[in-house]
Structure 1
Amino acid sequence: LLAVMGGLGLLSKYTMGIFAFSVFFFLLFEKNFRHHLVNPRLWLATLIAALIFLPNIGWNIVNDFPTFQHTADIAKAADENTLQYSELSEFLFGQLGVFGIIFFPVLLYLWIRRKTWRDHWQMRLLSQFTLVFLLIIIAQSLFGRANANWAAPSYVAASVFIVVWLMGSQKPLLSRLLITGLLLNALLAVFIYHYPSLMKGANVELNQNNDLYKRLKGWRTLGEQIYKIRQHYPNTTLLAQDRELIAELSYYAGRSDERPIPIISWNPAQQLRHHYDLATSMSDKTGQHFLYIGDHDEKVQSLTPYFTVVQPIAIITAPVNAAYQRQYSVWLMQGFKGYAPPSIPSTAPAAAP
């Protein structure tokens, strides 16, 4: 059962492998359980889990490790030469929202005050399954980038860990702290769910800094505008570089009966950064025409050598809130030459669709 769950877990999420380190360190430091390190059944389970995971490794080898490239790409810091203290502080602050305003500080307190629980091996086991995972993600945030939710698996064990400690305490205050923490988490969930309505009721104007839902807004409006432009250029295919933009437009830039619509990832470096680099290709598109969508301030000079004619079509905008809007430029790219073009194309004047 351990082998099957371990293998399936790795197929679901690579970070499942971190728990293997939790097991190893627990067995290594616990003398009463250390003999399991030489138990052949443990290593047999490890081997079976690896065999279950093996097809994923084989697929990555055949396809130039796209999932590893994707993980490296999203975790890469803007400046790789310095420690990312701002990313670290943002990650740690985010844990208050992921685990709880009360529960995360309680967890930190328990690690500082180990004497309150270290006599119980069950608590030490839960601590290992929490601490190892969380420390690895904290290190990732310091040396690169880590989203707050990446640490969520560590809180499976952490939830049991702190509840056992709070309920087992002889102090009534700590028992009440558990109830308070649960209520605050529930209130926080309700607050986030109804955040736009609550801000509107409080006459608070949303902007780029305080709009929790800004990443979700504006895409439908942009997609509708792209759809209208597509009607004037029926022999073109959509083209973009940004993974999020491609994902949103593949849904919103077409009719409900044609979703997801074809949209190709512009990838002259032939990297495998995300799903669309793997699933789409320009290799068989020589001579074809495209509508390229990019940030309004994006420089398209780097793309012009790859096409016969590059023509600006439109600037599209979509309001996100009163102080912020999404803005993209649309370009008609005619006559794709391949990813190794010999010459610089002409640039036609702007034209309205």
Structure 2
Amino acid sequence: MSAAVDGGIVDRFGARLLAGLALLLLAWRVWLLPQLGITLYVDEAQYWTWAENLDWGYYSKPPGIAALIWVSTRLFGDGLIGVKALAILCYPLAAAACWAIAARLYDRRTAFWSALAVLTLPIFSWLGLFVSTDALLTLCWTLALWAWLRALDTDRWRDWLLVGAVCGLGLLSKYTMAAFLGAAFLHLVVFHHRRLASAKPWAAALLALALLGPNLAWNVAHDFPTLKHTADITLQKHAAGGPGALGEFWAAQWLSFGPVLGSVFVVLLLRVRSSWRDANTRLLLWFALPLWAVVSLQAARSGANANWAAPAFAPAAIAAVAWLLARGRQRLLVVGITLNLLLVGIAYHWPAIIAAVDLKNPAKMNPYARAMGWDELGRQLAPIVRAHPDAVLVADNRTLLAHMLYELRDLNPRYASWNPKGEASDHYKLTSDLRDWIGQDALLITQTAPGAELLGRFAGADKLGELRAPLDSTTARRMEVYLLRGFKGY
């Protein structure tokens, strides 16, 4: 297909075609989720409990993810799709923002292919199955870049304030949004230093900080748990880092782009002089590379997950698409998008693929296994909880408490985390205290038999059963349940 013909089709039908493709991808994900045999992952279940208790902050994250789930469940219910719905929608909306960015920097043809590339990136396709802070953060990052371009072009108050508002919402999703603010400030210093004499960019920054203000106040009131947690996972002095971890991180980034776009991005980095001379490429990489640099340092120091630089993929993908189109390599771009869809399809349907191979222990090769079996354990636990309505549900780890509170949501049990040291090392230890239940009975859920120290804190104990949820013919998820009578205190 020639560029002229392609351009005409895109001009006339591009927006509708993109919307149709986005709806098809959404429908694919919504159909797929129930087929996977999963419930929520532990972080998703924890975020759901946050959403049931809205606040300006939580142990490990600002409140954006909880607010997103609160709205989602009010609109679509507390089921698997209801919890995930708005988070899933964030990625197509981010692709739409990328369309607007590329249309402003290039043309509608580049905008179309950029949005399609972002829609089908392996990292966003994978994250699009789950509820994570990356969803709202990526959307805010792309919207902030679009607003930034508008503000630079128009210098209108409303555009500058839009930058501040979107950045503030991004900070309420994840503190990583601070990297965008840093990149924006340096962009002004290097290329638009005269704008620093205007009150408008400063007002935008103040608005962003004002929106974050209630979360900062919450941290002050609770002895800075979120900030301490963020610093802890950033530094991780005892975690494994080094060149190997950095290499693994960048290999994961290449795969998250897909083989073609990932290779084009490497070319853009290797041809740094020509990339720098092109104003649009320079701007797009300006709002991508700083985040990758920070996370790469973290990977070298203590390791990093592939998704920690997720927002950077959006502007970088636009730059890669524009580079290919400018050189008449649209066929290669189509191949790249097709390969990405193939990779996504393999990842989405991997459980069916390994089932067809008839492996002896498929759960070990199933990336979704961590979210399997919890619903069955919840069904088995429910009658025990109903039989002991006055007992408080107690768990000795965050994973069990998060999963069972979600699975028992119709019963809404009272709960507390086992925390004899009084350390606020997770959300449940921060927000619950078993000492409020002295003299009361407890239902302990655990994956290890309780020791003498724990049992000694109660007047008596009876094992009520061992719950079991098979994951395959040889693997099962297990949980023991104990009735603990008369809590004496720690």
Asked if TM exceeds 0.5, the reply is: yes
Is 1:10–1:53's contact at 8 Å kept on the other side of the alignment? yes
1:136 aligns with 2:287: no
User: Are 1:119 and 2:277 matched, yes or no?
Assistant: yes
Alignment partner of 1:211 is 2:211: no
More helix by share: 2
Q: Which moved more, 1:103-112 or 1:158-167?
A: 103-112
Given candidates 226, 230, 233, the residue that maps to 1:67 is: 226
Q: Which of 337, 356, 378 in structure 2 is aligned with 1:182?
A: 337
- For CA contacts below 8 A with separation 6 or more, give which structure has more relative contact order: 2
Change (3 A) 1:205 1:19: farther
Q: Which residue of 2 aligns with 1:152?
A: 310
Larger deviation, residues 284-293 vs 64-73: 64-73
**Distance between the aligned counterparts of 2:170 and 2:265, measured in 1?**
25
CA distance in 2, matches of 1:18, 1:334: 51
Could you tell me how far apart the structure 2 residues matched to 1:107 and 1:323 are?
A: 43
CA contact (8 A) 2:235 2:298 kept: no
Superposition map of 1:298-317 within 5 A: 300-317=451-468
Show the 5 A alignment for 1:321-336. Answer: 321-336=472-487
Question: Which 10-residue stretch deviates more, 277-286 or 129-138?
Answer: 277-286
Mean Cα deviation higher: 110-119 or 96-105 = 96-105
User: Alignment partner for residue 2 of structure 1, among 163, 168, 184?
Assistant: 163
Unaligned stretches of 5+ in structure 1? 340-353
Corresponding residue of 1:249: 404
Which residue matches 1:21? 182
Partner residue in 2 for 1:350: none
- Aligned in 2, Cα 1:192/1:124: closer, same or farther, shift over 3 Å? same
- Check 1:99–1:265 CA distance in 2 against 1; reply closer, same or farther (3 A cut): farther
Q: Per-residue deviation at 1:75?
A: 5.8
- CA 1:85/1:313 → structure 2, altered by over 3 Å: closer, same or farther? farther
Structure 1 residues 307 and 187: CA distance shift in structure 2, 3 A: same
CA shift in 2, pair 1:306/1:74, >3 Å: farther
Counterparts in 2 of 1:84 and 1:16: CA distance versus 1, 3 Å: same
CA contact (8 A) 2:439 2:487 kept: yes
The equivalent of 2:419 in structure 1 is 267
| Aligned counterparts of 2:366 and 2:325: Cα–Cα separation in 1 | 37
**How far has the Cα of 1:96 moved from its partner?**
4.3
Say whether the 8 Å CA contact 1:100–1:181 is kept in structure 2: yes
- What do residues 251-278 of structure 1 show as CA deviations (whole Å, max 9, x unaligned)? 22x3x743x4333222333343443334
1:123-166: CA deviation from partner (whole Å, max 9, x where unpaired): 11211211111222222333335332222111121121111111
The alpha-carbon distance between structure 1 residues 215 and 108, as it changes in their structure 2 partners (threshold 3 A), is same
Deviations 1:102-136 (A, max 9, x none): 32333233212213322122211211211111222
Which residue of 269, 283, 289 maps to 2:435? 283
Deviation (angstroms), 1:8: 2.0
Quote the Cα distance in structure 2 between the aligned partners of 1:329 and 1:84. 40
- CA–CA separation in structure 2 for the residues paired with 1:197 and 1:23: 45
Cα pair distance change 1:206/1:192, threshold 3 Å: farther
The residue aligned with 2:216 is 57
Q: What SS class does the counterpart of residue 317 from structure 1 fall into?
A: strand
Assess if the C-alpha contact under 8 Å between 1:98 and 1:152 holds in 2.
Answer: no
CA distance in 2, matches of 1:145, 1:224: 37
Task: Give the distance between the partners of 1:321 and 1:288, measured in 2 at CA.
Answer: 38
**Cα shift at 1:73:** 5.9
- What is the rounded CA distance, in whole Å, between the counterparts of 1:84 and 1:286 in structure 2? 48
Q: CA RMSD in A?
A: 2.8
Q: Which has the higher strand share?
A: 1
**Cα–Cα, structure 1 residues 210 and 168, in superposed 2: closer, same or farther, change >3 Å?**
same
In 2, the alpha carbon distance for the partners of 1:109 and 1:40 equals: 39
Partner SS, residue 223 of structure 2: coil
Note if contact 2:441-2:484 (Cα within 8 Å) is conserved in structure 1: yes
Q: Is the 8 A contact 2:241 2:299 kept in 1?
A: no
Count of residues paired in the alignment: 329
SS in 2 for 1:321: coil
Q: Say whether 1:230 aligns with 2:388.
A: no
Structure 1 position 208, deviation (Å): 4.8
Corresponding position of 1:343: none
Identity %: 33
- Within the alignment, does 1:41 sit opposite 2:186 as a pair? no
Report the Cα distance in structure 2 between the residues aligned to 1:86 and 1:313, rounded to whole angstroms: 47
Helix, strand or coil at the partner of 1:83: coil
Asked if the contact 1:207/1:324 (under 8 Å) is kept, the reply is no
- Tell me, in whole angstroms, the C-alpha distance in 2 between the residues paired with 1:198 and 1:223: 28
Give the 3 Å change call, closer, same or farther, for CA 245–181 of structure 1 in structure 2: farther
